[in-house]
A and B are shown apart, each in its own frame.
Chain A
Amino acid sequence: MNLQDVRIPIGDWVDAMVDWLTINLVWMFDGISDILGSLIDALETALQFPPALVTIAVLALIALFARNWKFSLFTALSFGLIVTMGQWEAAMSTLALVLVASILAVLLGVPLGIIAARNQAFSALLRPVLDFMQTMPSFVYLIPAIIFFGIGKVPGVVATIVFSMPPGARLTELGLRQVDAEVVEAGEAFGASPAKILTRVQIPLALPTIMAGINQVIMLALSMVVIAGIVGAGGLGAEVFRGVTRLNVGLGFEGGLSVVILAVFLDRVTGAFGSKASSRTSK
């Protein structure tokens, strides 16, 4: 028998499963869709509704608080550039998607990491799942997302959450495991409950690593949200995609540059919070 003649229909099985899910869990997907949709709309409005200068001022203030006046100035100028390139609305739409997706990915990923750090079996189970989620080409998530949630922003955010969550869980687990065992024992030896040790000792000490994970989540989310522009999530991704389909290098570059500016801003801000968290514990 020739091995090439054997056909294991994994694709068919996945199709069947997706069909079954769409038919039987339609209520759930509709619910998620409604909630996510309104979250995204609310945030998008909040970012797009005020005059661009006001939003820029707020972002510059965040930059000042997180780092210093140089970064604040850079933020004001670079976001000003986005406005002048005519990409402001798209950029704010992308920022809203990134924030919603990252917040949800962190809310899912960090607790998974906490459980994994405390439970060896769960950790062993979670690791290959996370590997799978991270290595599967990101486009693939878009297909079932569209089937479950239709075209638009919601499938984009769902695919983004799946793609960007792993580092949040992974680095949370790592950070918690790296906390000095003797320090945890010291918590225990004085009669602290496991919850108290987690919140007062382990998480504060793991915070720099957890923040590095959150930074990764946001960066992955940004890259995925741009890809999601293809399936109608809008924002900068849609601009870049339009540039590609029309072979319009200028438009593509303007969209791409805006993505870079967003990325630098998000990376530096979250990175700064991470190093603030570590300055205390590394002493």
Chain B
Amino acid sequence: MSLIQVRDIHKVFGRKADKAVEMLKEGQDRESVEAATGTTPAVIDASFDVERGEIFVVMGLSGSGKSTLVRCLNLIHRPTSGQVVIDGIDIGTLSPAELRALRSEKISMVFQHFGLFPHRTVLDNAMWGLEVRQVPMNERRTRALEALRLVGLDGWEDSYPGELSGGMQQRVGLARALATDADILLMDEAFSALDPLIRSEMQEQLVNLQQELQKTIVFITHDLNEAMYLGDRIAMMKDGRIVQIGTAEEILQDPANDYVEAFVQDVDRSRVLTASAVMEEPIATILRREGPKAALKHMRERQITALFVVDPNRRLIGAALDDDVIAAVRSGSGKLDDILHYDVLTVSPDTPLVDLLIPAAESRLPLAVVEDGRLVGVIPRVTLLAALGGSHRDAMEDQNAAVATATPSTGVE
């Protein structure tokens, strides 16, 4: 079962909130409901699940309701309708004391402007969650110090937040959230207030921490690159509604509507997309035992100039080029081994496209995508260029169908 289950939640601000939800459920649009009831629908009909250990990013522009949505997950905002189920418990049914216990034990939060207590030291800030839970002083200290060490702030425990830089302040915020050892981390635009350089540093740190800690993270951001970098899955929000949920690749390759499409246009695809997303079926392959004559036949039939040579388990052995094959056939050699090129450039499926450019430029062959020694796909240069240019899967597939046989050969002079 998913750790967090969000079911049809609406959050409407204003006196006639219930009436507004009713109208929204009847299918009226946000503007007319706003006009008719004088309310502000911030979140409309949001449903999603977050799996244990996942980084789930909610992405949207300001006013899209994303910050309200994340506050519904720990009931800082109580949804006007709908359910939030955490670890099997509908948190809307909890008593105030139970809710406080849930917040101090299961869910912690990191804030955009850090939300630190300026009158308390870094250590006292980090201890807050434990202090609230009345953990004994010794343990409080040990755990807070451990959390500060995790985020790289050891030695700063007696400073005040005002004495630290923005990046360091947010580390305190992160340490405060980690100290309670909650399973769920809500991060509301946690890095948005930081300088670009510090921001990417923090993003990397979060990814590293996540590998170690395996928290369930709901991360709010308005920065698509950040969303794509951090998110295992991304929910795109617009005007209070979730318009698409999917992995970064799914959203880039197959935007649900024009809004998402327009949005993802500016994304640096080369960093988000990986080899596995753009690679194609390896067609130009031949088994090693088939020999030069068979190779020549393949090349002629498919009008290509090179073949990847594999063993029966599709393990990549090398590549054969047309001139070598013709020479071998003339000399009457029965084996491919003598003419194989073993220096084929291979990449792994999770290599980002940006790291494929130089190999692609240097290689005469399409890039071979290899996983555990097996050839799982090839990336001809044209495919790489098309992917960077932002053509969608559909367009690319049409294109591929048209030039199916020609494409693999474009990598070869």
Contact = CB atoms under 8 A, between A and B. Distances in A.
B128 interface: yes
A280 B119 CA distance: 6
Contacts of B115: 180, 182-183, 185-186
Given A190-B132, A191-B100, A196-B132, A205 B119 contact: yes
Interface residues of B, number: 33
B129 A190 contact: yes
Contacts of B133: 191
A191 B129 CA distance: 7
A183 B125 CA distance: 11
Interface residues of A, number: 20
Contacts of A199: none
B118 A190 contact: no
A283 interface: yes
Interface in B362-399: none
A192 B132 contact: yes
B132 to A, nearest CB: 5
A283 B103 contact: no
Interface string B119-163: 100000000110011000000000000000000000000001111
Interface in A181-216: 182-183, 185-193, 196, 201, 204-205
B406 interface: no
A283 B104 contact: no
A204 B100 contact: no
A190 B134 CA distance: 12
A280 B160 contact: yes
B76 interface: yes
A68 interface: no
B119 A281 contact: yes
Contact of B160 (A204, A205, A283): A283
Contact of A189 (B103, B119, B160, B162): B103
B294 interface: no
A190 B128 contact: yes
B76 to A, nearest CB: 6
Given A185-B109, A187-B117, A190-B129, 6 more contacts: A180-B113, A180-B115, A185-B71, A189-B108, A190-B176, A191-B102
